[in-house]
Structure 1
Amino acid sequence: MQPVFTGVADAPAAPCVAVVVDVMRAFTVAAWAFRRGAERIVFAGTLEEALELKARHPGWLAVQDGEPVPGFDLANSPGRLRSHDLRGRTLVQKTTAGTVGALAVARARLLLCASFVVAGATAEVLRRARPETVAFVVTGDGGRAEEDLACAQYIAERARAGGARPDPGPYLDRARRSHAAARLSDGVRRGLRGVHAEDVAMCLEADAFPFAMTAIREDGRLVLRPVEPGGPPSPPPA
């Protein structure tokens, strides 16, 4: 498996296999939503689209970045989301980085969304798929986010190592020192309502969940669902 690390702007439009990485915080939030029982997450391209989808589907919950926005139910914060009972619910997620990256490579034959909490399971899906090349899309900071690149490199190393588990410590240390972690910590100090004091720590829990997250088209929308590494995540790459 040959990993290729790219930003959203330079990502191939239709890679065979893509792993879109957003550690702080979209795909940590998504993983926690599934941990709390959510059935699926629908990606929206704009805030207006997210609210429109929610209006058309009573019972759906809308998730957005930053300070609370009228009409949205949940903040893009794992610390704020983990107390919610989401069993059987559909979420609509719109963020500034993660969902943008996923939509940019929506034509991939196998599209995985990842963060540290699902890194091990994501690597196992890749190991079983045995692709020649994987496009790792670093979504934060215009493709320069250290926490996303560190996570992508950790997943790639785990996938190539087979059953071995590389030490996640050095990768987590890079993420802990990232600009994104500093911004979240500053938001906590400033009392912003869209962040939580435990967000950074929750984003740095390597291999916390046994599932990966795969996105496929359903009724014209890009939809994320959890998948066990041993199960079929989507049609296998050619």
Structure 2
Amino acid sequence: MDTRFLAIAELDDVPSVAVVVDVMRAFTVAAWAFARGAEKIVLAESLDEALALKARHPGWVALKDGPPAPGFDAVNSPGMLRSVDLGGRTVVQKTTAGTVGALAVKEASLVLCAGFVVAEATARLLRIRAADQVTFVVTGEDGRADEDLACAQYIARRATEVDTDADAFLRRAGGSRAAAELAQGVRQGVHPDDVALCLELDRFPFAMVATLEDQLMVLRPSAVPSPND
């Protein structure tokens, strides 16, 4: 498998297969939303679009980075979201990096959104699809976020070497700037458990696939058969 690791700004073509990585916290939150029963997640281009979608669909749940804000129902925190009942609901998500990265590759034939919590399922799906070329989009800090790069490199390695150990990659993520800022309360809309939840390896058994539906980028969980199935 030929891999490349790019920042959002470095995307100069439409990749065939793209894995968009945002560990802290967009795609950890997305995975928790599905675990709490969400049917789908609409990735919004802007806060205004998120609010407009919410206005047209009052039953949808609007979620954003940072502190609570009028019109939004939730913040981008796995620690806060894990106690919310989202059974059958649609979530509209707008974040600083993760959703931007997914929208940047929306024309790709396969778009996966990932963090450590769905790493094995993501790697397994890449193996099943026999992807020859995969672009990993490192969303945080203009492509320099070590937690995202570590996760991307782990998934890439795991897709071809199933005995790859995650410990060193998780240590890098745990020592990242994002982890420190979350732990120290530098960022807003944070739960004390957020870092630990973002570093839970393979917490969920599904991958997350984003596709264009009626001009919206929609993320859904995708069950991935285990090797023993």
What TM-score, normalized by structure 2, do the two folds share?
0.96
Partner of 1:89: 89
Q: CA deviation at 1:193?
A: 5.5
Aligned length: 226
Q: Secondary structure at the match of 1:216?
A: strand
Partner of 2:173: 175
How many Å separate the matches in 2 of 1:57 and 1:165?
A: 45
* Percentage of matched positions with identical amino acids: 63
How many Å separate the matches in 2 of 1:165 and 1:49?
A: 43
Superimposed CA distance per residue, residues 171-222 of structure 1 (whole angstroms, 9 cap, x where no aligned partner): 00000000000110121xx6x7500000000000111110000000111100
Partner of 2:208: 213
How many Å separate the matches in 1 of 2:23 and 2:13?
A: 22
Q: Aligned partner of 2:221: which letter?
A: P
Q: CA deviation at 1:87?
A: 0.7
Partner of 2:42: 42
How many Å separate the matches in 1 of 2:218 and 2:164?
A: 31
Runs of 4+ in 1 over 2 A off after TM superposition: none
How many Å separate the matches in 2 of 1:127 and 1:42?
A: 26
Partner of 2:224: 229
- Matched-pair contact (CA < 8 Å) for 1:213–1:224: yes
Partner of 2:25: 25
How many Å separate the matches in 2 of 1:129 and 1:26?
A: 25
Q: Secondary structure at the match of 2:10?
A: coil
1:58-69 residue pairs with structure 2 within 5 A? Answer: 58-69=58-69
Q: Secondary structure at the match of 2:184?
A: helix
Q: Secondary structure at the match of 2:221?
A: strand
Structure 1 alignment gaps of length 5 or more: 232-238
Superimposed CA distance per residue, residues 88-124 of structure 1 (whole angstroms, 9 cap, x where no aligned partner): 0000000000000000000000000000000000000
1:99-138 residue pairs with structure 2 within 5 A? Answer: 99-138=99-138
Q: CA deviation at 1:230?
A: 3.6
Q: CA deviation at 1:2?
A: 1.1
How many Å separate the matches in 2 of 1:81 and 1:139?
A: 22
Q: Secondary structure at the match of 1:173?
A: helix
How many Å separate the matches in 1 of 2:147 and 2:176?
A: 6
Superimposed CA distance per residue, residues 31-82 of structure 1 (whole angstroms, 9 cap, x where no aligned partner): 0000111000001011000000000012000000011111100110000000
Q: Aligned partner of 2:45: which letter?
A: G
How many Å separate the matches in 1 of 2:64 and 2:93?
A: 6
Structure 2 alignment gaps of length 5 or more: none
How many Å separate the matches in 1 of 2:97 and 2:66?
A: 12
* Cα distance change, pair 173–223 in 1 and its aligned pair in 2 (3 A): same
Root-mean-square deviation (CA), in Å?
1.2
More deviation, 8-17/151-160: 8-17
Q: Secondary structure at the match of 2:148?
A: helix
- Matched-pair contact (CA < 8 Å) for 1:118–1:207: yes
How many Å separate the matches in 2 of 1:147 and 1:138?
A: 9
Aligned to 1:199, which of 183, 188, 194? 194
Q: CA deviation at 1:166?
A: 1.7
Q: Aligned partner of 2:62: which letter?
A: A
Q: CA deviation at 1:165?
A: 3.5
Partner of 1:74: 74
Superimposed CA distance per residue, residues 104-158 of structure 1 (whole angstroms, 9 cap, x where no aligned partner): 0000000000000000000000001111110000000000000000000110111
Q: CA deviation at 1:3?
A: 1.1
Q: Aligned partner of 1:57: which letter?
A: H
